[in-house]
Structure 1
Amino acid sequence: MPAPEDPKMPSSFEGNEEFYETSRTTKLFRRITDEPLIPLGMALTCWALFRASRSIRAGNDRDYTNKMFRRRIYAQGFTIAAMVGGSYYYADEHRARKNVETKVAEQKAKEKNRAWIKELEAREGERLELERIAREEAKK
């Protein structure tokens, strides 16, 4: 039985808690704020492509359509440059964050291991108590 101060014992079969700690939207907004030039380049690319496709459908001037396609290429180049530049510029921050995340994961793994051992010890204690009760009843 669990101790009174510990109403719910941890189980080794519980779900993966790390999965639920950060949601996808939280991670997305963190990435956008970390490197804001990449979403800007993506938005410019989409805008230029959208304008080019509207120009084609409307049958407008070919020069305008080509101009929009060129802008799309420039925006894609900007996005790639932002990705490469950001990876160099933020490399130390990414390494530091990765180290912190690794340490936190190791600490959580140790805590989970301790809780699992505590659970096994409690179950062993229960088993021994049941065996003792069964022996006493067998003697009667």
Structure 2
Amino acid sequence: MSVPGNLNTAPPPSSFDGDDAFYEESRWQKLRRKLIEEPLIPLGCALTCWALYEATKSMRSGDKHRTNRMFRRRIYAQGFTIIAMVAGSAYWENDRSKRKEFGELSEEKRKREKRDAWIRELEVRDEEEQELRKVRDRMVLGGRAEKKGVSEEEARRLEKGGSIRSATEDGEGRGLQGPILRAVRQLWEKRG
């Protein structure tokens, strides 16, 4: 809600995406964790690569028996890797479900905190707008009183209420006998 004459023209906040207060696991940290959790899978991959390398070496040298033996080892290593993946998946399933649940809870908490911060910001902006509205209303009331020529006592009451005094008034509250008006009268008289 915007008040005419509002100094706060910034739009209300939509999100706080720049907030990096929450810990997020990087790719390298995730890879390291996976290697520690399931070390047999990388071992099976390494054995498969070694068997393929040895098979290509034996093919170049022309040793058919060694080539066949290395291809069999490659198949065994791939089977070992698949079994390690299935067994590790079954073993770590409970942990993965807990990690997923924890991730969902932390995401929900982060969203809730973001929403609460957004609501607090809106409340602060609303309070600022209400204060600006009060100041504007006092200024309008003071201006109306000056135009109507209210008595000195009413003008002082308005000033104590927080209205802003006219630029034509001096400090003693003499109404339209302020220093600016006197200076304008002097200039007008010199002209004529």
Q: Output the TM-score relative to the length of structure 1.
A: 0.76
SS of alignment partner, residue 101 of structure 1: helix
C-alpha deviation, 1:39, in angstroms: 1.1
Report whether the alignment pairs 1:38 with 2:41: yes
Q: Which of residues 52, 57, 79 is equivalent to 1:54?
A: 57
Matches within 5 A, 1:43-82: 43-56=46-59, 58-82=60-84
C-alpha deviation, 1:17, in angstroms: 4.3
C-alpha deviation, 1:15, in angstroms: 4.2
SS of alignment partner, residue 88 of structure 2: helix
Higher alpha-carbon deviation: 37-46 or 121-130: 121-130
Q: Output the TM-score relative to the length of structure 2.
A: 0.58
C-alpha deviation, 1:16, in angstroms: 7.4
Amino acid corresponding to residue 32 of structure 1 in structure 2: L
Contact 2:51 2:74 (C-alpha < 8 Å) held by counterparts:
yes
Aligned-pair identity (%)? 51
Contact 1:11 1:119 (C-alpha < 8 Å) held by counterparts:
no
Kindly tell me the number of residue pairs found equivalent between the two proteins. 130
- 5+ residue gaps, structure 2, are 1-12, 144-192
More helix by share: 1
Change (3 A) 1:54 1:16: farther
* Aligned match of 2:135: 133
- 5+ residue gaps, structure 1, are 1-9
Q: Aligned partners of 2:135 and 2:54: how far apart in 1?
A: 81
SS of alignment partner, residue 14 of structure 1: coil
**Whose RCO is larger (CA < 8 A, sep 6+)?**
1
Q: Aligned partners of 1:61 and 1:105: how far apart in 2?
A: 58
